[in-house]
């Protein structure tokens, strides 16, 4: 199983702790520590994804469950858009991926609260990091990483001016969290509330 780079130190600590308890206290007492090590491994897993080649398709920016789809105002550009909100629980893959190829035109971090990411209120009040991607037709797509109840760190590996590819890993949110995507009117949405999606692989929209 491939592991995301963010998981190396956490996995090392969990395994060392389990081994220490095993050797000094015995196998029975080490069981909870091994279970925790397995949890850490599954949380930071980094599966390979087959990214759809068609440039007109939008892939999910995260693994999780679609909890909201509807008309909205893009909080960064102020333009009309369709909002897709995806909730990631502690068992989801937490790597975040670029939904469309293009250029990063803006990156914006904002401090905030750590409410349960499953509720809509978290999208307005929680800590977040936003990026805006300009596609080949100059349409701008906003993607927002939102911290959750347990998450205390949002990681973003891209910056303004970077050229990015669809399906490329661009960030990571530790533990339960939320990712929201704002598509301009030129894009159609292909998912509904309740759908489960995989980041970088499942198509959630298309350019008309």
Strand partners, 3: 45
| Mean pLDDT lowest among 34-38, 125-129, 143-147 | 125-129
Average pLDDT over residues 103-130: 76
Task: Judge whether residue 110 has pLDDT over 90.
Answer: no
CA proximity to 129, closest of 112, 151, 145 = 145
Task: Judge whether residue 123 has pLDDT over 80.
Answer: no
For residue 62, is it within any domain? yes
42 CA to centre of own chain: 15
Which helix H or strand E contains 133, and what residues bound it?
strand 128-134
Task: Judge whether residue 122 has pLDDT over 60.
Answer: no
Q: Give the integer Cα–Cα distance in Å for 31 and 26.
A: 9
Task: Judge whether residue 79 has pLDDT over 80.
Answer: yes
Give 175's pLDDT tier (boundaries 50, 70, 90): low
| Mean pLDDT lowest among 122-131, 139-148, 197-206 | 122-131
Instruction: Output the pLDDT for position 20.
Output: 94
Tell me, yes or no, if 177 is annotated catalytic. yes
- Residues 14 and 111 occupy one common structural domain: no
Q: What are the tens digits of pLDDT across the range 7-56?
A: 788 889 999 999 999 898 888 889 999 999 998 887 788 888 999 999 99
- Residues 134 and 166 occupy one common structural domain: yes
Q: Give the integer Cα–Cα distance in Å for 3 and 44.
A: 6
- Residues 122 and 34 occupy one common structural domain: no
- Residues 11 and 89 occupy one common structural domain: no
Of 92, 95, 130, 177, the catalytic one is 177
User: Angle at the Cα of 137 (from 131 to 142), degrees rounded to 5?
Assistant: 20
For residue 49, is it within any domain? no
Structure tokens at 133: 């991607």
- Residues 27 and 116 occupy one common structural domain: no
Average pLDDT over residues 159-185: 91
If one counts the domains in the chain, the total is: 2
Instruction: Considering only residues 162 and 25, tell me which one the structure prediction assigns the higher pLDDT.
Output: 162
User: Angle at the Cα of 65 (from 97 to 59), degrees rounded to 5?
Assistant: 35
- Residues 37 and 109 occupy one common structural domain: no
Q: What is the pTM of this model?
A: 0.85
- Residues 162 and 94 occupy one common structural domain: yes
- Residues 113 and 138 occupy one common structural domain: yes
Average pLDDT over residues 164-188: 91
Q: Give the integer Cα–Cα distance in Å for 165 and 155.
A: 18
Average pLDDT over residues 152-181: 89
- Check if the beta carbon of residue 122 is closer than 8 Å to that of residue 146: yes
- Residues 138 and 37 occupy one common structural domain: no
């Amino acid at each position: 199983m491939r592991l995301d780079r963010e998981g190396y130190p956490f996995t090392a600590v969990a395994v060392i702790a389990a081994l220490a308890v095993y050797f000094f206290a015995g196998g029975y007492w080490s069981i909870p520590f091994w279970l925790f090590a397995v949890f850490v491994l599954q949380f930071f897993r980094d599966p390979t994804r087959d990214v759809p080649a068609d440039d007109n398709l939008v892939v999910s920016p995260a693994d999780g469950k679609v909890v909201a789809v509807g008309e909205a105002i893009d909080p960064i550009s102020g333009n009309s858009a369709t909002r897709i909100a995806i909730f990631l629980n502690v068992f989801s893959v937490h790597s975040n991926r670029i939904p469309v190829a293009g250029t990063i035109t803006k990156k914006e971090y904002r401090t905030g609260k750590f409410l349960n990411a499953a509720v809509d209120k978290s999208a307005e009040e929680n800590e977040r990091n936003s990026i805006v991607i300009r596609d080949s037709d100059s349409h701008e797509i906003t993607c927002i990483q939102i911290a959750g109840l347990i998450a205390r760190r949002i990681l973003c590996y891209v910056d303004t001016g970077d050229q990015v590819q669809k399906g490329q890993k661009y960030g990571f949110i530790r533990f339960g969290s939320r990712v929201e995507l704002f598509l301009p009117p030129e894009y159609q949405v292909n998912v509904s509330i309740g759908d489960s999606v995989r980041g970088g692989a499942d198509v959630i929209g298309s350019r008309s």
